[in-house]
Amino acid sequence: MKTDVEELSPTRVKLTIEVPFEELGHAFDETYKTLRKQVRIKGFRPGKVPTQLIDRYVGRGVVVSEAVNHAVPEFYNQAVREEEIFALGQPDFEVTNLEDGAEFSFTAEVDVRPKFEVKDYEGVSVTVDDAAVSDEDVDQQLSNLRERFATLTGADRPAAEGDYVSIDLQASVDGVELEDVKASGVSYEIGSGSLLDGLDAAVTGLSAGESTTFATTLVGGEHEGRAADVAVTVHSVKVKELPELDDEFAQSASEFDTIEELRDDSRRRLAEVKEYQQVSQARDRVLEALVDKVDIPLPDSAIEAEVNRRTESLEQQLQASGLTREAYLESQGKSEEEFETELAEGARKAVKSGFVLDQLAIQEDLSADNSELTNYVVDQAQRMGVSPEVLIKHMVDSNQIHIAYTEVLRAKALTLVLRTATVVDESGNEVDVRSVLGDEAETAAAPEAEGEAADTEIVEMDSTDAARTTASARSDDDADGEERPAAGS
């Protein structure tokens, strides 16, 4: 097989592939194997029809065409590997020469990742928020803890904002009661606005046993958007009582004997949280600074695929929450045009970030072992609320393991940059991100021992293969479902 590569643009190439006809033997074997299962000729058992009769029965031209259709993807993939091309998405094929028994050639045009190097990535400087814990922060933490230990006490008076009421609801449209918009014994906090528009005003001032009716617009369900009358009955009115912030509360809500000990522990925990938030913020800003250093063209197909992936993900979330796209945009205070602009810009950043981290992983010859992949899968499973076993089976069945591998490499590449970065807070204090990263920084920096292969029970590939297959899969059919490089985009 002979391959010529023509660069049509920095992000698109044309491969001209010439294949000696005798190398199509495997493709013809597979074609005849398939056709034998389909062809029925008297005197021959299924699957035993000779090739000569198949040629005569279905036509030699059909056989050759089927064999070529089978062979083109195989020879294309072989050419991509041999020429080390980072192909993105499906190519456009064209058979340019086909002479039975003599010659076969075709072309393939495909988008590719631009060629570049990540330079001067060490010593990136970024600024993050201060991590100082204020007295107000501690007070808010203790206030949240008090809320968890609050009790509800019955009140013999009309309901007011902040009270909790137990209510029955029954909606009707044009005088017909709706069975799917009916609820009994609902506990509702007046003023929360978490159910129906108009409910807060309707129940305010009602005492236990009293009822009223209010008008609203239904949200979600079969009658979404319809004007309805809702009858509401209050069964009880309760007041939330918070415990006193004293030593007795500290003993009941924690392992500490005094409120001061609980306050000190809250301050310490908040400081730890803010330190981790600083590292997370540093990751995002280091990645942004790193990506800004690189000027590369981006394939339109890759951006379009990322936009489609994000749009599909949003639609799934909206459907699960019962929200319409219009209601979502209204809640965000954005027009459709503003949303589309932000979506496209986010997709561009995500694609570019992925390219940069992939290239850095290749330059530094990073790899991921089985334990790192397992940790990634476990973390993703926890985020999704499924078991790791279910997730890994899904990833294997849908051929997404290489995406997990790439996300681990991207995270390690970013950590490699982060551990050499200069990070200061807004007050000018240096932030020691390595002390928070701990072993993660060392793992990302340490090359594999010479002669020691990574444990790859889940997958076996190098960073180049991972970057290539992940980029191709995402541009081709949006296989991943996570938004963007996991390392932060």
- The answer to whether the CB of 296 falls within 8 A of the CB of 432 is no
Closest CA relative to residue 166, chosen from 112, 214, 232, 229: 232
What are the CA-CA distances from residue 436 to residues 115, 129, 274, 478 (Å)?
34, 16, 11, 34
53 vs 72, higher pLDDT: 72
Give the type of residue at 435: S
Within 10 angstroms of residue 105's Cβ, the number of other Cβ atoms is 17
Residue 337's pLDDT is 93
Residue 462's pLDDT is 54
401-418 and 259-292 helices, crossing angle to 10°: 100
Confidence of residue 480 (pLDDT cuts 50, 70, 90): very low
Which strands sit side by side in the sheet containing 2-9, from one edge to the other? 2-9, 12-20, 103-112, 87-99
- The answer to whether the CB of 230 falls within 8 A of the CB of 169 is yes
Least confident of 37-51, 165-179, 183-197, 376-390: 37-51
- The answer to whether the CB of 340 falls within 8 A of the CB of 480 is no
Q: Is 20 helix (H, G, I), strand (E, B) or coil?
A: strand
155 vs 194, higher pLDDT: 155
Closest CA relative to residue 414, chosen from 470, 360, 462: 360
Q: What's the residue count for the chain?
A: 489
Mean pLDDT of 1-30: 92
- In angstroms, the CA 7 to CA 253 distance is 67
Least confident of 79-88, 252-261, 285-294, 459-468: 459-468
What structural domains does the chain harbor? 2-112 (3.30.70.1050), 151-241 (3.10.50.40), 269-477 (1.10.3120.10)
- Dump pLDDT digits (tens) for 216-257: 988 767 777 889 999 999 999 999 999 999 999 999 999 999
Q: Could you give phi then psi for residue 97, rounded to 5 degrees?
A: -155, 125
Query: What's the pTM value of the predicted model, to 2 decimals?
Result: 0.69
Residue 43's pLDDT is 67
Burial of 455 by CB count in 10 Å (0-12 exposed, 13-18 middle, 19+ buried)? middle
Within 10 angstroms of residue 77's Cβ, the number of other Cβ atoms is 11
For the chain, give the longest Cα–Cα distance.
Answer: 97
* Secondary structure element (H or E) that encloses residue 478, with its range: none
- Dump pLDDT digits (tens) for 345-370: 999 999 999 999 999 999 999 999 88
- The answer to whether the CB of 391 falls within 8 A of the CB of 384 is yes
Residue 64's pLDDT is 87
